[in-house]
């Protein structure tokens, strides 16, 4: 059974990192993940009803309001909040500038977004391209290729420099294809929103449940809750495209494709949980020491 690493690097703009090391999973693990997905599907109906509705836009501040006060250093007291807002969300694009653990692209996660306009098809492709070709991607894919080489997974690639190059190319292609299919192509065709809207309120159980169910429930461009065809169907399509195009002949089977799809969706669900709680972790890490 191949080693699995960094489950948080999965969904949305981060998704696809793990596909290349999921192609030969233990059958028992795949069966377990399938049962989880079936259970989640049966429970998706009440989750649809719990989808938080976008908040009404707040009124624009009056021009007659006084300027923000300054502290002893001469800096506006509102600058800190402004900086935080800029990190979390870009008003121009409706996407985030945040990075999971200050490294991995997290551009499709919005924190306490309230009412935000839907992304156009062009914007969906633009943000996916921005994250898919981010500078962090290539050393990560190189790391995954090294693990695959050491374990001699997908032995049809061989060993040596040529085998490593093939594995690196496959890992890069796997991640890029899945990113575009699940976050740009299918959402554009079905008018679904590929962004993850953090709940940010309630207890640990409620927030964890909310995050897990986002694998099956998403927001449409009309702001209403919908079944997440982009994730479920898009992941299946990307798994089939990558498996039957450039992977070794012995891996081109329906069973292997289904295994990759099921494992990817399961890990994407876990990734949503990490995205839900990452802002809390970030605030803890950045809290000034007293």
* Position 236 pLDDT exceeds 90: yes
pLDDT value at 157 more than 50: yes
Distance of CA 98 to the CA centre of its chain: 12
Q: How far is CA 140 from the centre of its chain?
A: 16
Give me the number of domains the chain comprises: 1
Whether residue 61 is predicted with pLDDT greater than 60 in this model: the reply is no
Residue 4 is assigned to a structural domain of this protein: no
Nearest alpha carbon to residue 23 among 257, 199, 267:
257
Domain-located, residue 66: no
For residues 59 and 142, the model is more confident at 142
Is 157 inside a domain boundary?
A: yes
The residue range of the domain holding 271 is 12-52+79-284
Examine residue 74 and state whether it is found in any structural domain, yes or no.
no
Evaluate if residue 21 carries a pLDDT over 70.
no
At 187-224, the pLDDT tens digits run 999 999 999 999 888 899 999 999 999 999 999 999 89
Report yes or no: 277 and 49 within 8 Å, Cβ to Cβ.
no
- The count of C-alpha atoms lying within 13 angstroms of the C-alpha of 132, restricted to the half-sphere facing its C-beta, is 22
Residue 229: which of 194, 202, 205, 197 has the closest Cα? 194
- Domain assignment of residue 60, yes or no: no
* d(C-alpha 234, C-alpha 236), whole Å: 5
- 260 falls within a domain: yes
Tokens of residue 91, six digits: 């008003």
CB atoms within 10 A of CB 35: 10
Flag whether the pTM goes above 0.95. no
Residue 134 neighbours by CB under 8 Å, 6+ apart:
105
Is 10:17 a contact under the CB 8 Å cutoff?
Answer: yes
């Amino acid at each position: 059974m191949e080693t699995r690493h960094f489950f948080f690097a999965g969904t949305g703009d981060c998704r696809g990192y793990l596909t290349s090391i999921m192609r030969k999973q233990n059958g028992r693990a795949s069966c377990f993940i399938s049962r989880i997905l079936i259970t989640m599907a049966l429970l998706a109906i009440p989750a649809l009803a719990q989808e938080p509705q976008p908040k009404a836009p707040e009124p624009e501040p009056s021009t007659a309001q006084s300027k923000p006060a300054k502290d002893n250093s001469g800096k506006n007291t509102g600058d800190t909040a402004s900086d935080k807002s800029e990190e979390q969300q870009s008003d121009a694009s409706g996407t985030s500038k945040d990075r999971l653990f200050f490294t991995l692209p997290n551009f499709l996660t919005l924190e306490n977004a309230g009412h935000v306009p839907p992304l156009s098809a062009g914007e969906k492709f633009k943000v996916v391209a921005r994250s898919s070709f981010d500078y962090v991607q290539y050393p990560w894919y190189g790391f995954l290729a090294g693990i695959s080489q050491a374990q001699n997974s997908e032995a049809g690639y061989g060993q040596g420099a040529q085998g490593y190059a093939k594995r690196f190319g496959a890992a890069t292609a796997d991640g890029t294809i899945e990113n575009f299919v699940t976050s740009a192509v299918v959402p554009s065709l079905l008018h679904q929103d590929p962004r993850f809207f953090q709940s940010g309120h309630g207890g640990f159980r409620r927030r964890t449940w909310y995050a897990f169910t986002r694998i099956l429930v998403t927001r449409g461009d009309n702001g209403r809750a919908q079944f997440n065809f982009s994730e479920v169907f898009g992941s299946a399509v990307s798994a089939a495209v990558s498996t039957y195009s450039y992977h070794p002949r012995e891996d081109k089977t329906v069973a292997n494709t289904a295994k990759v799809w099921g494992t990817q969706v399961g890990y994407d669900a876990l990734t949503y949980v990490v995205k839900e709680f990452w802002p809390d972790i970030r605030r803890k890490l950045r809290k000034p020491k007293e």
